[in-house]
Amino acid sequence: MRRTIRLALFAVAALSALGFASSALASFSPKLVVSSSTGGAARVGVVVSDTDAATAQAQIYVPAGYQLASPAAGTKLGDVTATASSSALAGAILPLTGALQVIAPNPAAAAQCGVTASQYWDLHLTVAGQTIDVPMYVVTANATEQAAGFQAKLIVCLAPPAVSPANPNGAKLLSASFGVSAITQPAAPGDYRWTSVFTPYNADGTTNRAGTVETQAIRHLPTQIKQTVTKKKLTSHKVVRRNGKRVTITIIRTQVKFSATVNANGAAAASASISTTAAGKRVGGASGSFILAAGKSATVTSTALVNHGSSVPTGSTATAADLFYADLGAAACTPTTIFGGLPCTDATVGGETVKASTKVVAYRR
């Protein structure tokens, strides 16, 4: 059975409730995570605890310096993984998978979300044979937002989590991670601060603007690994018997030393775990040495996991392909002035995996 659940159905009445809704709600501490995927395309994630209030609207601000393209309708921008709890299934956590894709303009739907969009995207998700479409609107930053260092924002409006014709599963979005090939990293090095504004629902399904918070994601670009590999000839002698005679033979070996460091925008990475392999076998961490026999060769690869403290939930056991991050807490927030004093509740720095390799050929003589 195919059922499309449009989660961007803010009616005028719901929008008008923004200013005067009751502020009685559960806690609300969403997280924003931004990293990159192959080719420098942005990878974006959001996380909300199941014990938090449900999200009514999320606005993710893209900082100046990133490249923002305008792909044609039908273009796939990246893969999506997500989780949602379902009140129709006694709060069961459901894993969702799908794609972020460009769709045809739908100004009427955007207006229901209270925005005028320049691009129309869609988080096209499936779970248990059903389809959930979450429209995402790309909105060009206004003059005030541009002056604050932003070029655009990605806006999503979600239906209340109670079971309704607009949300038959009573879905409450808890996490999402998606690649965005239309947004690519800046060429210039620097510390880039993404930010977002999240507005929650009250328990009765009305929108609570009083509960709106800011949450941020930091990118230190570029993140690079530097590897140093040296080799030293080791010569030893061994006496053996050949044809009844004692013969001294020379044994040549090669000692390989290695070290690796990780920098993020020119400074030492705050959180990096380095592992080094040679010919596919682990030989140490950030530094060490090993012996290479004469006539042999090996590729020494240092792999750094940077800011891999947590991962955006997918509903399955975390794998290397997931979106990782380090949670810096509210102390790392820099509240955005144009938001008029909104509390900034959290900041993260996106995780990355960086590698460097060097081929070593052993001495023969």
**pLDDT attached to residue 243:** 86
What mean pLDDT do residues 3-8 have?
36
Question: What region, left, alpha or beta, does residue 340 occupy, with left being phi > 0 and alpha being psi -120 to 50 degrees?
Answer: left
Give yes or no: residues 96 and 124 share one domain.
yes
pLDDT over 60 (residue 19):
no
Q: Is residue 209 part of a domain?
A: yes
Q: Is residue 262 part of a domain?
A: yes
Q: What is the 3-state secondary structure (H, E, C) of 96-126?
A: EEEEEEECCCCHHHHHHCCCCCCEEEEEEEE
**pLDDT attached to residue 298:** 97
pLDDT over 50 (residue 9):
no
Question: What region, left, alpha or beta, does residue 90 occupy, with left being phi > 0 and alpha being psi -120 to 50 degrees?
Answer: left
Q: Is residue 24 part of a domain?
A: yes
**pLDDT attached to residue 165:** 84
Q: Which domain holds residue 94?
A: 4-221
What mean pLDDT do residues 13-28 have?
41
Q: Is residue 283 part of a domain?
A: yes
Q: Cβ of 204: how many Cβ atoms within 10 Å?
A: 12
pLDDT tens-digit series, residues 285-310: 999 999 998 889 999 999 999 999 99
Instruction: For residue 352, name the pLDDT band (cuts at 50, 70, 90).
Output: very high
**pLDDT attached to residue 25:** 39
**Residue that the structure tokens 């924002």 belong to:** 153
DSSP 220-233: EE-EEEEEEEEEEE
What mean pLDDT do residues 120-136 have?
92
Give yes or no: residues 283 and 178 share one domain.
no
Q: Is residue 8 part of a domain?
A: yes
- Which is more confidently placed, 248 or 28? 28
**pLDDT attached to residue 26:** 58
What mean pLDDT do residues 13-29 have?
44
Give yes or no: residues 158 and 294 share one domain.
no
Q: Is residue 99 part of a domain?
A: yes
- The count of domains in the chain is 2
- Domain boundary among the residues 221, 248, 267 is at 221
Give yes or no: residues 153 and 212 share one domain.
yes
Give yes or no: residues 23 and 53 share one domain.
yes
Give yes or no: residues 167 and 79 share one domain.
yes
pLDDT over 80 (residue 228):
yes
DSSP 12-54: HHHHHTTTT----------EEEEEE-GGGEEEEEEE--TTSPP
Output the CA–CA distances (angstroms, integers) from residue 23 to 131, 223, 227, in the order listed: 32, 42, 54
Could you tell me which residues come within 8 angstroms of residue 18 by beta carbon, excluding any fewer than 6 positions away? 199, 207, 209
What mean pLDDT do residues 181-207 have?
96
**What is the C-alpha to C-alpha distance for residues 127 and 83, in angstroms, rounded to an integer?**
10
Give yes or no: residues 193 and 294 share one domain.
no
> Do 257 and 289 form a contact (C-beta atoms < 8 A)?
yes
Could you tell me which residues come within 8 angstroms of residue 111 by beta carbon, excluding any fewer than 6 positions away? none
Give yes or no: residues 178 and 33 share one domain.
yes
Give yes or no: residues 154 and 38 share one domain.
yes
Q: Is residue 324 part of a domain?
A: no
Work out whether strand 344-350 and strand 213-221 pair parallel, antiparallel, or are unpaired: parallel
**What is the C-alpha to C-alpha distance for residues 283 and 290, in angstroms, rounded to an integer?**
7
What mean pLDDT do residues 110-127 have?
96
What mean pLDDT do residues 56-67 have?
98
- Which is more confidently placed, 243 or 54? 54
What mean pLDDT do residues 88-109 have?
95
The DSSP bridge partners found for residue 359 are 299
What mean pLDDT do residues 322-348 have?
97
- Domain boundary among the residues 193, 221, 249 is at 221
Q: Range with the lowest mean pLDDT among 115-129, 230-244, 334-348? A: 230-244
**pLDDT attached to residue 239:** 85
Give yes or no: residues 144 and 276 share one domain.
no
Give yes or no: residues 113 and 260 share one domain.
no
Could you tell me which residues come within 8 angstroms of residue 214 by beta carbon, excluding any fewer than 6 positions away? 195, 196, 197, 198, 333, 335, 336, 339, 342, 343, 344, 345
Output the CA–CA distances (angstroms, integers) from residue 8 to 46, 162, 339, in the order listed: 17, 14, 23
What tokens does 159 get? 């239906």
What mean pLDDT do residues 273-294 have?
96
Q: Is residue 26 part of a domain?
A: yes
Percent of residues in the chain assigned helix, strand, coil, to nearest 5 = 10, 60, 35
Give yes or no: residues 195 and 239 share one domain.
no
**pLDDT attached to residue 4:** 39
Could you tell me the pTM of the whole model? 0.88
- Domain boundary among the residues 158, 188, 221 is at 221
pLDDT tens-digit series, residues 41-61: 999 999 999 999 999 999 999
**What is the C-alpha to C-alpha distance for residues 102 and 77, in angstroms, rounded to an integer?**
7
Q: Range with the lowest mean pLDDT among 196-210, 229-243, 276-290? A: 229-243
